[in-house]
Amino acid sequence: MNRSFRPNSSEDIDRAVRWANYPKYLHSFPIQSRPYRPKAKNLRNWYLDDGLSANQIAEKLGVSKTFVLDRLREMGIQSDESGDRLTNPHNYRSSVVPYGFKVNDGKLVPHYPELKICRKVVALVREGHSFRSVTRELATIGFKNRIGKVNWDHSTVKSIYERWSEKL
Protein backbone atom coordinates (compact mmCIF):
# COMPACT_ATOMS: atom_id res chain seq x y z
CA MET A 1 0.00 0.00 0.00
CA ASN A 2 1.42 3.33 -1.06
CA ARG A 3 1.11 5.99 1.66
CA SER A 4 2.42 8.94 -0.30
CA PHE A 5 0.36 12.11 -0.33
CA ARG A 6 -1.51 12.82 -3.54
CA PRO A 7 -3.20 16.21 -3.61
CA ASN A 8 -6.69 16.19 -5.06
CA SER A 9 -7.54 19.88 -4.86
CA SER A 10 -5.92 23.30 -4.63
CA GLU A 11 -6.71 23.28 -0.88
CA ASP A 12 -4.72 20.06 -0.48
CA ILE A 13 -1.84 21.62 -2.40
CA ASP A 14 -1.88 24.70 -0.12
CA ARG A 15 -1.87 22.43 2.93
CA ALA A 16 1.05 20.43 1.53
CA VAL A 17 3.04 23.63 0.89
CA ARG A 18 2.38 24.90 4.41
CA TRP A 19 3.54 21.61 5.95
CA ALA A 20 6.60 21.55 3.71
CA ASN A 21 7.54 25.02 4.98
CA TYR A 22 6.58 24.28 8.60
CA PRO A 23 10.11 24.48 10.03
CA LYS A 24 10.50 27.96 8.52
CA TYR A 25 7.36 29.15 10.30
CA LEU A 26 8.43 27.51 13.53
CA HIS A 27 11.58 29.64 13.72
CA SER A 28 9.67 32.87 13.16
CA PHE A 29 7.88 32.56 16.52
CA PRO A 30 9.87 33.33 19.68
CA ILE A 31 9.67 30.41 22.08
CA GLN A 32 10.84 30.73 25.65
CA SER A 33 12.61 27.62 26.81
CA ARG A 34 12.18 28.42 30.51
CA PRO A 35 9.81 30.61 32.51
CA TYR A 36 10.62 34.28 33.01
CA ARG A 37 12.55 34.91 36.23
CA PRO A 38 12.94 38.53 37.29
CA LYS A 39 16.20 39.40 38.97
CA ALA A 40 16.08 38.86 42.71
CA LYS A 41 17.64 42.28 43.28
CA ASN A 42 14.77 43.99 41.42
CA LEU A 43 12.06 42.09 43.31
CA ARG A 44 13.72 42.80 46.65
CA ASN A 45 14.07 46.51 45.85
CA TRP A 46 10.53 46.90 44.57
CA TYR A 47 8.99 45.05 47.51
CA LEU A 48 11.13 46.19 50.44
CA ASP A 49 12.64 49.53 49.38
CA ASP A 50 9.98 50.99 47.08
CA GLY A 51 7.09 49.51 49.07
CA LEU A 52 5.25 48.10 46.05
CA SER A 53 2.68 45.39 46.68
CA ALA A 54 2.87 41.95 45.11
CA ASN A 55 -0.04 42.93 42.85
CA GLN A 56 1.76 46.04 41.63
CA ILE A 57 4.97 44.10 40.97
CA ALA A 58 2.97 41.44 39.10
CA GLU A 59 1.34 44.10 36.90
CA LYS A 60 4.73 45.67 36.23
CA LEU A 61 6.22 42.32 35.14
CA GLY A 62 3.14 40.93 33.42
CA VAL A 63 3.01 37.86 35.69
CA SER A 64 0.62 36.63 38.36
CA LYS A 65 0.64 37.74 42.00
CA THR A 66 1.23 34.12 43.03
CA PHE A 67 4.37 34.03 40.87
CA VAL A 68 5.72 37.15 42.64
CA LEU A 69 4.89 35.80 46.10
CA ASP A 70 6.57 32.49 45.28
CA ARG A 71 9.74 34.26 44.13
CA LEU A 72 9.76 36.40 47.29
CA ARG A 73 9.41 33.28 49.44
CA GLU A 74 12.30 31.65 47.55
CA MET A 75 14.43 34.68 48.52
CA GLY A 76 13.41 34.27 52.16
CA ILE A 77 11.07 37.27 52.16
CA GLN A 78 7.70 36.52 53.69
CA SER A 79 4.78 38.61 52.49
CA ASP A 80 3.84 40.83 55.38
CA GLU A 81 0.13 40.95 55.99
CA SER A 82 0.51 42.30 59.52
CA GLY A 83 1.34 45.80 58.29
CA ASP A 84 4.76 45.98 59.97
CA ARG A 85 6.49 46.75 56.68
CA LEU A 86 6.76 50.42 55.86
CA THR A 87 4.83 51.34 52.79
CA ASN A 88 5.55 54.01 50.28
CA PRO A 89 3.42 57.04 51.20
CA HIS A 90 2.87 57.71 47.49
CA ASN A 91 1.68 54.15 47.01
CA TYR A 92 -1.69 53.60 48.68
CA ARG A 93 -2.46 49.90 49.20
CA SER A 94 -5.65 49.45 51.15
CA SER A 95 -8.99 48.04 50.16
CA VAL A 96 -10.90 50.96 51.71
CA VAL A 97 -9.97 54.48 50.68
CA PRO A 98 -10.51 57.10 53.41
CA TYR A 99 -13.54 59.32 52.92
CA GLY A 100 -12.60 62.51 51.07
CA PHE A 101 -9.93 60.79 48.99
CA LYS A 102 -9.69 58.70 45.87
CA VAL A 103 -6.82 56.65 44.47
CA ASN A 104 -5.27 57.92 41.28
CA ASP A 105 -2.29 55.98 39.89
CA GLY A 106 -1.69 54.40 43.30
CA LYS A 107 -1.68 57.76 45.12
CA LEU A 108 -4.24 59.27 47.43
CA VAL A 109 -5.64 62.48 46.01
CA PRO A 110 -8.51 64.65 47.30
CA HIS A 111 -11.98 63.72 46.04
CA TYR A 112 -13.70 67.09 45.94
CA PRO A 113 -17.36 65.96 45.95
CA GLU A 114 -16.67 64.00 49.15
CA LEU A 115 -14.72 66.90 50.67
CA LYS A 116 -17.92 68.94 50.59
CA ILE A 117 -19.52 66.33 52.87
CA CYS A 118 -16.41 66.21 55.09
CA ARG A 119 -16.58 69.99 55.58
CA LYS A 120 -20.26 69.74 56.52
CA VAL A 121 -19.54 66.94 59.05
CA VAL A 122 -16.75 68.92 60.69
CA ALA A 123 -18.90 72.07 60.84
CA LEU A 124 -21.87 70.25 62.40
CA VAL A 125 -19.76 68.51 65.05
CA ARG A 126 -18.06 71.80 65.92
CA GLU A 127 -21.53 73.32 66.40
CA GLY A 128 -22.14 70.68 69.06
CA HIS A 129 -24.07 68.00 67.18
CA SER A 130 -23.52 64.36 68.11
CA PHE A 131 -22.37 61.91 65.46
CA ARG A 132 -25.85 60.37 65.30
CA SER A 133 -27.52 63.74 64.83
CA VAL A 134 -25.01 64.52 62.08
CA THR A 135 -26.07 61.33 60.28
CA ARG A 136 -29.70 62.45 60.44
CA GLU A 137 -28.75 65.92 59.20
CA LEU A 138 -26.81 64.50 56.25
CA ALA A 139 -29.82 62.34 55.34
CA THR A 140 -32.14 65.37 55.62
CA ILE A 141 -29.90 67.43 53.34
CA GLY A 142 -29.77 64.51 50.89
CA PHE A 143 -26.05 63.78 50.91
CA LYS A 144 -25.45 60.24 49.70
CA ASN A 145 -22.75 57.92 50.98
CA ARG A 146 -20.37 55.99 48.70
CA ILE A 147 -22.91 53.31 47.90
CA GLY A 148 -25.46 55.91 46.84
CA LYS A 149 -27.79 55.84 49.85
CA VAL A 150 -28.73 58.63 52.25
CA ASN A 151 -28.39 56.32 55.26
CA TRP A 152 -25.21 57.24 57.10
CA ASP A 153 -23.59 55.30 59.92
CA HIS A 154 -22.36 57.21 62.98
CA SER A 155 -19.01 55.37 62.84
CA THR A 156 -18.42 56.70 59.31
CA VAL A 157 -19.22 60.22 60.48
CA LYS A 158 -16.88 59.77 63.44
CA SER A 159 -13.99 58.59 61.24
CA ILE A 160 -14.59 61.50 58.84
CA TYR A 161 -14.48 63.95 61.76
CA GLU A 162 -11.36 62.39 63.28
CA ARG A 163 -9.55 62.47 59.95
CA TRP A 164 -10.59 65.95 58.86
CA SER A 165 -11.17 67.97 62.06
CA GLU A 166 -7.70 69.49 62.09
CA LYS A 167 -7.30 69.74 58.33
CA LEU A 168 -10.45 71.70 57.52
Q: Is residue 21 part of a domain?
A: no
The SS3 assignment for 160 reads helix
> What pLDDT, on a 0 to 100 scale, did the predictor assign at position 97?
83
Do 120 and 143 form a contact (C-beta atoms < 8 A)? yes
CA distance 140 to 134: 10
Q: What is the pLDDT along the chain (168 residues), one digit of tens a residue?
A: 455 556 566 666 666 666 665 555 555 555 555 556 677 778 888 888 887 878 888 888 888 888 888 888 888 887 665 455 555 555 666 667 889 988 887 778 899 999 999 999 999 999 999 999 999 999 999 999 988 899 999 999 999 999 999 887
Are residues 115 and 141 both part of a single domain? yes
Q: What is the CATH number of the domain that holds 43?
A: 1.10.10
Q: Is residue 153 part of a domain?
A: yes
> What pLDDT, on a 0 to 100 scale, did the predictor assign at position 118?
95
- For 51, the domain range is 34-84
- Considering 84, 119, 144, which residue would you say is the last residue of a domain? 84
